[in-house]
Structure 1
Amino acid sequence: MFSKACEYGIRASIFIATKSSEGVRVGIKDVAKEIDSPEPFTAKIMQILTKNGIIHSAKGVGGGFEVSNQALRSVKLIQIVDAIDGDSIYKGCGIGLKECSEVHPCPVHNQFKKIRELLLTMLTTTTLEELALGVNSGDFHLKIFSQNK
């Protein structure tokens, strides 16, 4: 559904948010390891997330990536998706046609429209804080079989 870069961006944002809620900044190596992503690819994703104000990067000793308390509460998943993939996932055609509309629908238009609406609702209402709290409590996980927090 999302591009691989977007999947990694969401996972990285959640991981960084979990650590930020504990007052810890994390380096690129730790992020890449935690989200099972190649380090150079992770670095590019971190640049996008930083440029879009989703995460903050601090240089030097004690530096790394973090999410501010204000961003934890306010950043919604839609911001991450928009920054990396744009809006085509919840506005585009379900089978990738360049032109698909109410007037000229594709074969799956009506069914996919319902899915897009549910997805858009989830993306616009889910915060990083909500997901980070779920990971920190053990209700959610970022890696299969991981007991990391």
Structure 2
Amino acid sequence: MFSKSCQYAIRAVLYLADKGKDGQCVGVKEIAETLEVPGPFLAKLLQQLSRNQLIGSTKGPHGGFCMTSAHLQASLIRVIECIDGPEVFSSCVLGLPACNAANPCPLHYQSLAYKQGMLKILKDKTIAEVAQQVPEIV
């Protein structure tokens, strides 16, 4: 359902929720190596999350990315919408441009219920709650 970019961003945010809380900075290299994702690509995603105030960042030799208590209280849906956009929950699962209630694709109604359920869950879950429920971030 989510792009590879979004999956990387979610994993990075959950990693930061564990390792970069309380303002403790974690470098891109450490995150990328631990999560086994491409460093330059992850850096761009983290910068986008930082610009949207979903994570904190500090420049310099001891800089990196971190999370404050305010970041941890953001809902996970904000990370998804930041990377994949809000249309991820309203677009056709088959990628058809004219799929809607008036002109449904073969999977429209089944996927609609699933997407609405996921949307509710993701709006109600904070980053901190999800991070606590993930047994192993990596």
Instruction: Give the match for residue 5 of structure 1.
Output: 5
Count of matched residue pairs: 138
Quote how far apart the aligned CAs of 1:24 are: 2.6
Quote how far apart the aligned CAs of 1:31 are: 1.0
Instruction: Give the match for residue 146 of structure 1.
Output: none
| Mapped pair 1:56 → 2:74 | no
Q: Compute the TM-score of the two structures, normalised by the length of structure 2.
A: 0.92
Greater CA drift, 13-22 or 88-97 = 13-22
Contact 1:8 1:42 in 2 (8 A): yes
Deviations 1:83-106 (A, max 9, x none): 110123211012111011111111
Identity of aligned residues (%): 38
Quote how far apart the aligned CAs of 1:122 are: 1.6
The amino acid that maps onto 1:27 is: G
Q: Give the 3-state SS of the residue equivalent to 1:83 in structure 2.
A: helix
Quote how far apart the aligned CAs of 1:55 are: 0.6
Contact 1:11 1:35 in 2 (8 A): yes
RMSD value, Cα: 1.4
Q: Give the 3-state SS of the residue equivalent to 1:78 in structure 2.
A: helix
Specify every segment of 5 or more residues in structure 2 that has no aligned partner in the other structure, as ranges: none
Specify every segment of 5 or more residues in structure 1 that has no aligned partner in the other structure, as ranges: 144-149
* Alpha-carbon distance between aligned partners in 2 of 1:78 and 1:96, rounded to the nearest angstrom: 21
Instruction: Give the match for residue 132 of structure 1.
Output: 131
The amino acid that maps onto 2:121 is: M
Quote how far apart the aligned CAs of 1:81 are: 0.7
